[in-house]
Structure 1
Amino acid sequence: MGNKETIVTIGMRGDGDEPMTEGTAIDLLENIVKTQRNIIQEVTKKPIEETPQMWALYKEVQDYYDKGMTVPDDVTLLLCDDNWGNIRKLPELDSKPRKGGYGIYYHYDYVGGPRNYKWINTNQIERTWEQMDLAYQYGVDKIWIVNVGDIKPMEFPIAFFLDMAWNPEKFNAENLADYYVNWAKENFGNQFTEEIATILKLYTKYNARRKPELLDAKTYSVTNYNEADRVVADYQNLVEKANFINEKLQPEYKDAFYQLVLFPVLASSNLNEMYVATAKNQLYAAQGNAVANAYAEKVKELFEKDSELTNYYHTKLANGKWNHMMSQTHIGYDNWQQPEKNVIPKTKTVEISIKAQAKISTENSPKVETSITKNLENAHGFVENDGYISIESKNYSKAINSDSVKWTLIPNLGKTDSGITIKPSNIQPFEISEQSPRLEYDVCFFSKGKVKVKAYFSPTINFKIGNGLKYGIAFDSEKPQIMNLNEDSSEKNWAESVANNIKIITSTHQIENAGNHVLKIYAIDSALVLQKIVIETEDGKVLESYLGPPESFRKE
């Protein structure tokens, strides 16, 4: 160690990262740390408090701590996320200060359940900011560590994490967009700065919807809301823009541009298109439609293109400077662990007879555009159509703040548009009252009866003592229902929410009369980030999709 600035890691985990024997782990760990601290003191010949130390409360070690494991006061407690970017634990707001303070261990890359994610950048800096700002406001400021796996795919989010760690108060929800612009300007000599910033912002958003290793033919619907085609079109739009920039860039910037921007866009677009082609092959094969065969060929072409893109990165780009950097397998997962090699998705072919006729399919059926046919004369706000109302969270009719908090929009955060939360985060829960901070959404129903409200939240974990993070919800003047974001704390529910990168909480309400109403979302706990709201009427049926239905028509 010498005279360098250092921090010594203490503590221990079980063999193979498994938990230690239940019932003995706490005593054993406390004894291990006591022995470690004696060794440190003997070697340094200084009082133990003069050597900075850190104890990571990773996974089961946090469970031991929660059950009473003693940590010396001068040791920094390294709190952790859930390996998927959601902080597991923060100190209580009224807790006694610790001399060693607190830190955070965060993940951009992970080996483990529900699935490895190691291939390419899938991290939104908006989510990193939201979670690390939460930690900072709770006094977690001693040390921040991020697990990045392979460095090359993660250079952009690494830069953000380190810049934020250096000066957390420099960043806020309003200026995150500037980071993309400044980074693009710095790395590409002020060429196409705004365009590159937009590509970075959107490719990471699209990739964050679902990790590539979790994608399959069933992810996006090929039959409902034109979802799969819209996803492919979004990626292809980025491909066109990135290719155009690549053609015009000064030659000395092209290698960096390919590695930092163009390859992630090309490879991610190709992968999504391959799975959508697989889904269409399966759909048409089930119908006996010969179109399936063309999609089987398309899947093969796109699978091979993935290899070609990787090979170019390894052998041609910068004369092979970054060979093997993108060799991580990412196609063909069937459990949490990676396959030995990329495996092409299974497709089917259809035998073509002379009299074969095209069967009914989404491909050759006329597209039917839904339309609002009922009188809109007195409607106000988002209008029911096809039995549902879909709303992006940022499009509220009214936001009621309080003296202590305000509703804060986090642009670009989430699967479809933006997220909204209350800031600051270091506040005690609110009791709901007429003066409570709340969001109001004007809606119009053409029917009455029971409605279900599905609130789409970022998959935030309950990071404090108590039974979950809560919010209130009501229509008009009804008594608000108290909803718990973390009511189901099972491993299965957690795995589903991080895989989907969303948590949907459903409440049921009675609408007595058709017409205009106001949906109210009340703040109780901080750190809940609302992305989208979907209201399903009693006679309606929201069709299956990954992103939820597109936003409904809004009448001002």
Structure 2
Amino acid sequence: MKKTFLSLLVGCMFVQTSWAQFRLQAGKPISVTCDTNDTPVVQTALNLFKRDYEAVFSAAVQESPSKGTVVVASLQNQILSDTDISALEGKKQAFLMKVLSNGNLLIVGSDGHGMAYGLMELSRMIGVSPWEWWADATPKKRAFFELPAGYSDIQSPSVEYRGIFINDEDWGLMQWSSLTYEPWYKPGRIGPKTNERIFELMLRLRANYYWPAMHECTQPFFLTPGNREAAEKYGIYIGGSHCEPMASSTAVEWGKRGKGDYDYVNNSNEVLRFWENRVKEVANQEILYTVGMRGVHDGQMNGTKTVEEQKNVLKHVLNDQRGLLQKYVNKDITAVPQVFIPYKEVLNVYNAGLQVPEDICLMWCDDNYGYIRHFPTEEESARKGGNGIYYHVSYWGRPHDYLWLGTFSPALLHQQMKLAYDRGIQKMWILNVGDIKPAEYQTELFMDMAWNMEKVAQEGVDAHLENFLKREFGEKEGRMLLPVMKEHYRLAYIRKPEFMGNTREEEYHTNAYRIVKDLPWSRQYINQRLADYQRVSDEAEALFRQIPDDRKDTYFQLVKYPVQSSAEMNKKMLYAQFARHGEMSWQKSDMAYDSIVSLTRIYNTGIHNHGKWHRMMDHQPRRLPVFEPVDRSSVQEPILEERAPLYKWNAMECSEGSPVSCEGLGYEEKAASIEKDTKLAFNFQDCATDSVELEIALLPNHPLTDGGTLRVAISLDGNEPQIVEYQTQGRSEEWKENVLRNQAIRKVLLPVKKKKQHRLVVKALDEGIVLDQIKLYSYK
């Protein structure tokens, strides 16, 4: 296929200046000429830009059949004869934006996607938020927009395939889509009208890879008329999750198209026919094929009992699937994008020696709570197919769901994805976003990192969040909101609102794990946490009054609802904890529940958007006990009293050493990584005891190598170091506790020498050590 470049030339009618700056002005139309348009996504982006331009400048973008002030041209067009576009050679999805000497703006795309992203970049620059529709962020009118003479910018993606997974949609997106936005005859469909809106958001976020919703409650993507065409229109690669090989949403489609059991040991002919029929159907569409096999939904494959049996079956599965792709898609199998996802038990099969053809991308996974389980070895990094990541900011499962409020820590997301990128995971990134709302900010941070890792790394996660808030609400408001949102995320990092009932889901069928219980916190900490939440709730409310009416719905969705609902959930559960101990009535807990219900009703009915999001927000997904009014009960044991430490340090408060700051991460946002074989020292004095108990809290991440360890050596006053090891295996009880509190905690007893000055040393013995806090207690 001949390589082509597309370009866009933008100029403004009657507003050129003598110094050849680029200027757009309210009320002044611009025109477009497009002589090469063989990629639908280009026309789609152009139509979006027309809408954006009219919204901002109250003027039209006109298409001209010959000479226009906006020109889309191929590489051979004479318009490019004097422009150096060599920087785009060999790059995918890249664009060049340059102000020419005549005051026009040139945008050259290395391909159709690059051209579309260039257009969407111009929309961003004139003030259109990617969340223009999805968060009611109506573009503000402006009098003009200028770029200086000689302006030039080149952008290309850090990660080739960047996308989202709509998942656990039962209580949000599916209900809203099939009953509100494009009503169907019953709940159960996410149709083309909804998917077009999703794809529009993805195009604005420069995402190109989509895993459609696949729960049994939702009609499959490829069985819904119009969905395929919507994907083609927006240039979206359709993929599938770890249990949806060969573009088949197995959980529902097997019951509709399959025969017998979904079992490659005893029913391989029917399973292969099931896959073959789909591949024949979609062979001419942009598909990113998931290969391999699990069970019908999120479970182990049928017909096998041991890891070795699974490995042998997967060898045949991969061979047969690739045969179908060669037969129907491309004889050169290496030209067909494919991904193998070692998720849950499949990782054990891979580690047992499963050989995956090297042109297939290996997509690694986090542990569902944000901690990546595997990083590529040297051999895996060198694979032709590259490496990918499947990451969660929303999850249904053990030990507890977090599907409601989108409180996943941006700092943790940033730290883990930067680490993934630096260790060679650069081919495919997919983010489990649940229903999209209310994980808007995490979705944008993830996509911005996938698009330009260096830029986000340089500005830092706090600056990125501040820029997001300023764009949506204004310079002053954004600055004022930053500490509010940082505190909101910090408090949820310590304990997510969904985890406040101290309940578990692994034994959901038993009464023991359905009973809301005390959290292991002291009275002092509970009161402090309640005060902290009251403060951020009050600040969010005060700012809400200052927000213009045309931004109130946006503010409610992105700030007020998640911040205040988190605060009310904490009130509900912590006031109930006091009530169980007879220290107050149940009234405050009940009032907090009522507040959550009221806030949710406002979200769904809207402030000025006339119920646009009706049925999108559900304050009790899966109807788990934590979301209900708290049942009356009483306990005899007293509430814990504070055990005051002699000394406490955050990692960044060390006296000696070179900690690497993990911006915004940790209980007090001062966690730091410690490079292997390096030390941090903490000096103190006046210790009137002969021994102390040290409590060290570390990030509960996983070793950077399979089978590796996470160890630190701790010594006090030059005594023999004690080795602390804290990695976890599988879904152990310790791992569950770690991810619920975002800390791995170890305690050691240390002798104290009789001297005035003391020196505590923590040395990293492995890669990947991230220290959060250290506390020293008197030992009794």
TM-score class normalised by the smaller sequence: 0.7 to 0.9
State the match for 1:303 in structure 2.
593
Equivalent residues of 2:381, 2:387 under 8 A apart: no
Q: 2:397 aligns with which of 112, 137, 158?
A: 112
Q: 2:382 aligns with which of 97, 101, 111?
A: 97
State the match for 1:221 in structure 2.
521
Deviation readout 1:269-314 (Å, 9 max, x if unpaired): 1110111110111112xxxxxx63xx21222221112111111111
Q: Could you tell me which amino acid in structure 2 is paired with residue 527 of structure 1?
A: G
Q: Match of 2:411, SS?
A: helix
Equivalent residues of 2:381, 2:424 under 8 A apart: no
Equivalent residues of 1:30, 1:70 under 8 A apart: yes
State the match for 2:612 in structure 1.
321
1:116-195 alignment, distance < 5 Å? 116-172=401-457, 175-195=460-480
Residues in 2 aligned to 1:347 and 1:144: alpha-carbon distance in whole angstroms? 45
Task: Note the C-alpha offset of 1:341.
Answer: 9.6
Determine if the alignment matches structure 1 residue 14 to structure 2 residue 304.
Answer: no
Residues in 1 aligned to 2:702 and 2:328: alpha-carbon distance in whole angstroms? 40
Equivalent residues of 2:364, 2:388 under 8 A apart: yes
Whose Rg is larger? 2
Residues in 2 aligned to 1:491 and 1:343: alpha-carbon distance in whole angstroms? 28
Aligned pair count reads 479
CA spacing shift, 1:341–1:450, aligned 2, 3 Å: closer
Farther-moved stretch of structure 1 (453-462 vs 413-422): 413-422
Residues in 2 aligned to 1:95 and 1:408: alpha-carbon distance in whole angstroms? 27
Equivalent residues of 1:220, 1:276 under 8 A apart: no
Q: 1:441 aligns with which of 672, 677, 682?
A: 682
1:16-95 alignment, distance < 5 Å? 16-20=297-301, 21-23=304-306, 24-93=309-378
Deviation readout 1:457-497 (Å, 9 max, x if unpaired): 11101241334122221113223333212166661111111
State the match for 1:381 in structure 2.
none
Residues in 2 aligned to 1:439 and 1:254: alpha-carbon distance in whole angstroms? 47
Residues in 2 aligned to 1:96 and 1:143: alpha-carbon distance in whole angstroms? 13
Deviation readout 1:503-532 (Å, 9 max, x if unpaired): 102233211215320111112223221111
Residues in 2 aligned to 1:191 and 1:253: alpha-carbon distance in whole angstroms? 14
- Structure 2 alignment gaps of length 5 or more: 1-281, 502-516
Equivalent residues of 1:116, 1:338 under 8 A apart: no
Q: Could you tell me which amino acid in structure 2 is paired with residue 538 of structure 1?
A: Y
CA spacing shift, 1:422–1:10, aligned 2, 3 Å: same
Q: 1:392 aligns with which of 650, 657, 665?
A: 650
Residues in 1 aligned to 2:340 and 2:389: alpha-carbon distance in whole angstroms? 11
CA spacing shift, 1:273–1:22, aligned 2, 3 Å: same
Q: Could you tell me which amino acid in structure 2 is paired with residue 22 of structure 1?
A: K
State the match for 1:246 in structure 2.
544
CA spacing shift, 1:349–1:43, aligned 2, 3 Å: closer
State the match for 2:723 in structure 1.
482
Task: Note the C-alpha offset of 1:57.
Answer: 0.8
Determine if the alignment matches structure 1 residue 262 to structure 2 residue 520.
Answer: no
State the match for 1:534 in structure 2.
775
CA spacing shift, 1:103–1:71, aligned 2, 3 Å: same
CA spacing shift, 1:481–1:95, aligned 2, 3 Å: farther
1:234-383 alignment, distance < 5 Å? 234-284=532-582, 292=584, 295-317=585-607, 318-329=609-620, 338-339=623-624, 342-347=627-632
CA spacing shift, 1:489–1:58, aligned 2, 3 Å: closer
CA spacing shift, 1:456–1:159, aligned 2, 3 Å: same
Q: Match of 2:425, SS?
A: coil
State the match for 1:409 in structure 2.
661
Determine if the alignment matches structure 1 residue 233 to structure 2 residue 531.
Answer: yes
Residues in 2 aligned to 1:168 and 1:144: alpha-carbon distance in whole angstroms? 12
Equivalent residues of 2:674, 2:771 under 8 A apart: no
Equivalent residues of 2:498, 2:626 under 8 A apart: no
Equivalent residues of 2:600, 2:619 under 8 A apart: no
Task: Note the C-alpha offset of 1:191.
Answer: 4.1
State the match for 1:373 in structure 2.
none
Equivalent residues of 1:468, 1:487 under 8 A apart: no
Residues in 1 aligned to 2:753 and 2:626: alpha-carbon distance in whole angstroms? 58
Equivalent residues of 1:277, 1:298 under 8 A apart: yes
Equivalent residues of 1:447, 1:514 under 8 A apart: no
CA spacing shift, 1:14–1:251, aligned 2, 3 Å: same
Q: Could you tell me which amino acid in structure 1 is paired with residue 292 of structure 2?
A: G
Residues in 2 aligned to 1:41 and 1:61: alpha-carbon distance in whole angstroms? 25
Residues in 1 aligned to 2:669 and 2:598: alpha-carbon distance in whole angstroms? 33
State the match for 1:464 in structure 2.
705
CA spacing shift, 1:538–1:349, aligned 2, 3 Å: closer
Q: Match of 2:769, SS?
A: coil
CA spacing shift, 1:139–1:349, aligned 2, 3 Å: closer
Residues in 2 aligned to 1:220 and 1:270: alpha-carbon distance in whole angstroms? 19
Q: Match of 1:504, SS?
A: strand
Task: Note the C-alpha offset of 1:220.
Answer: 5.8
- Structure 1 alignment gaps of length 5 or more: 285-290, 331-336, 351-360, 363-367, 371-384, 402-406, 424-428, 431-436, 540-556
Residues in 2 aligned to 1:197 and 1:111: alpha-carbon distance in whole angstroms? 29
Equivalent residues of 1:274, 1:303 under 8 A apart: yes
Residues in 2 aligned to 1:475 and 1:222: alpha-carbon distance in whole angstroms? 28
Residues in 1 aligned to 2:553 and 2:476: alpha-carbon distance in whole angstroms? 14
Q: Match of 1:243, SS?
A: helix
Farther-moved stretch of structure 1 (493-502 vs 468-477): 468-477
Could you say what the CA RMSD is over the residues aligned between the two structures, in angstroms?
A: 2.7
Equivalent residues of 1:454, 1:507 under 8 A apart: yes
Residues in 1 aligned to 2:338 and 2:761: alpha-carbon distance in whole angstroms? 47
CA spacing shift, 1:84–1:509, aligned 2, 3 Å: same
Equivalent residues of 1:471, 1:482 under 8 A apart: yes
Residues in 2 aligned to 1:11 and 1:495: alpha-carbon distance in whole angstroms? 28
Deviation readout 1:45-74 (Å, 9 max, x if unpaired): 421111111011111111100011110000
State the match for 1:420 in structure 2.
672
Equivalent residues of 1:37, 1:48 under 8 A apart: yes
State the match for 2:101 in structure 1.
none
State the match for 1:380 in structure 2.
none
Residues in 2 aligned to 1:61 and 1:248: alpha-carbon distance in whole angstroms? 52
Residues in 2 aligned to 1:108 and 1:116: alpha-carbon distance in whole angstroms? 11
CA spacing shift, 1:314–1:346, aligned 2, 3 Å: same
Q: Match of 1:153, SS?
A: coil
- TM-score with structure 1 setting the length: 0.81
Residues in 2 aligned to 1:455 and 1:36: alpha-carbon distance in whole angstroms? 49
Q: Match of 2:740, SS?
A: helix
Q: Match of 1:78, SS?
A: strand
Task: Note the C-alpha offset of 1:91.
Answer: 1.5
Residues in 2 aligned to 1:342 and 1:410: alpha-carbon distance in whole angstroms? 33
